Amino acid sequence: MRRDRRQALVNQKIRRQMKTAVKKMRQKPTQKALQEASQMLDRAAKKGVIHRNKASRLKSRLVKLLPKGKKKTRPSPGKKKGKS
């Protein structure tokens, strides 16, 4: 089998897994589904199946689907305690 066809099969598998994870997240938005979709998007971007900016854009849109109380927020970066 030619190398490009073999790689095309690998890319199809990665793309199919990514799309499935994104669809699951859109149908039932949960923190676990978001984590799985995010991992698959990152993997697809790392492998070059999709552009890294597209992965970032899709992850941002998926986060917006979560209910308000479910989002993990980082604490606001207040003043650091330390020597002045």
Domain coverage including residue 33: 3-70
Is 81 within a domain? no
Total domain count for the chain? 1
Is 64 within a domain? yes
Is 15 within a domain? yes
Question: Residue 7's domain is classified under what CATH number?
Answer: 1.20.58.110
- What pTM did the predictor assign? 0.77
Is 59 within a domain? yes
Structure tokens at 82: 């330390």
Is 8 within a domain? yes
pLDDT by 10s per residue, the chain, length 84: 799 999 999 999 999 999 999 999 999 999 999 999 999 999 999 999 999 999 999 999 999 999 887 556 555 565 666 665
- Quick one: pLDDT at residue 21? 97
- Quick one: pLDDT at residue 1? 77
Is 76 within a domain? no
**Residue 72, by phi and psi: left (phi above 0), alpha (psi -120 to 50) or beta?**
beta
Is 61 within a domain? yes
- Quick one: pLDDT at residue 68? 82
